[in-house]
Amino acid sequence: MILGAVLDDLSAAEVVAAIFAVLDGGGRARVINANAYMLNLTHETPWLRALFRSSEIAFFDGAGAQLAAQVLTGHRPRRTTPPEWAAEVAAGVAQRNGSVYLLGGAAEAAAVAAERLAALTGVRVAGVHHGFFDATPGSPEAEAVLEEINRLRPDVLFLNMGMPRQERWLHDFWDRADVSVAVTAGALVDHLAGRVRRPPRWVADLGFEWLVRLAVEPRRLWRRYVIGLPVFGFRVLREKLLPRRREDEA
């Protein structure tokens, strides 16, 4: 457990294999991940801790989360991120004659992403919906989105609404969603649409992906990194030196 988040040491191949095992076995699974920003949020937020405890597949995404695990446990886990393997999952869904649904991102980007994912993998994109709607349970917009998803019954739902909004949707609607697998995929839509490009893997391996993202989107991300990373480091060191047990983490 890292700052309240229960995570497994999984490679990209293992995450993909676990998703296919769920699809082939007729089960259901929530696939979530944590980077330093998410670990900060989880440390502060009871419902996020509950989501990490109950989700079927949860893995490390980001060098900060890896480093925290190494400091707290002495072991450096592997990490991966959904944009690395989402196309592989979509291709596997296509081979199984299934479908996917993309929820999140701007409307135009989501439409382009759906077209490119279908062309790249052959998957049937059952539906697409932008992420700019009132996702409060019971609101007309939220209920309409859920109704459409349940009508189309995709095998895999990619949630591309950003942290922690996509996790909140999963927390609020999972029990009512007629999907087999839901993946919190962050900026997948923007990656597929060509609006965001990931830095080379070696940059991420060195732990500098956050710096590249900050340089590209300083107004949106400065608080997350300039303030959030020192807070994260302090929390990890405090947990190492003065471990505490929360009642809701038991």
Which 3 state secondary structure label does DSSP give 68? helix
pLDDT at 198: 65
> Once rounded to an integer, what is the mean pLDDT over residues 141-168?
98
Are the CB atoms for 79 and 65 separated by under 8 Å?
Answer: yes
> What average pLDDT does the segment 77-84 reach?
96
CA-to-CA distance for 171 and 4, rounded, in angstroms?
A: 16
**What confidence category does residue 250 fall into, taking pLDDT thresholds of 50, 70 and 90?**
very low
- pLDDT, tens only, 49-68: 999 999 999 999 989 999 99
For the chain, the average pLDDT equals 91
pLDDT at position 212 is: 55
Average confidence (pLDDT) over 134-153? 98
Whether the per-residue pLDDT at 22 is higher than 80: the answer is: yes
Q: Supply the pLDDT for residue 69.
A: 97
Distance CA 83, CA 69 (A): 22
* pLDDT > 70: percent of the chain: 86
Give the tens place of pLDDT for each residue, 175-212.
Answer: 999 999 999 999 999 999 997 766 566 555 656 565 55
Question: Closest Cα partner for 214 from 206, 205, 204, 224?
Answer: 224
Per-residue confidence at 113, pLDDT binned at 50, 70, 90?
very high
pLDDT at position 226: 72
**Stated pTM of the model:** 0.89
Q: Which domains does the chain have, with CATH numbers?
A: 1-80+236-250 (no CATH), 82-198 (3.40.50)
Q: Which tops the pLDDT comparison, 244 or 39?
A: 39
* Model confidence band, residue 214 (pLDDT cutoffs 50, 70, 90): low
Taking residue 118's Cβ as centre, other Cβ atoms within 10 Å add up to: 15
Helix (H, G, I), strand (E, B) or coil at 156: strand
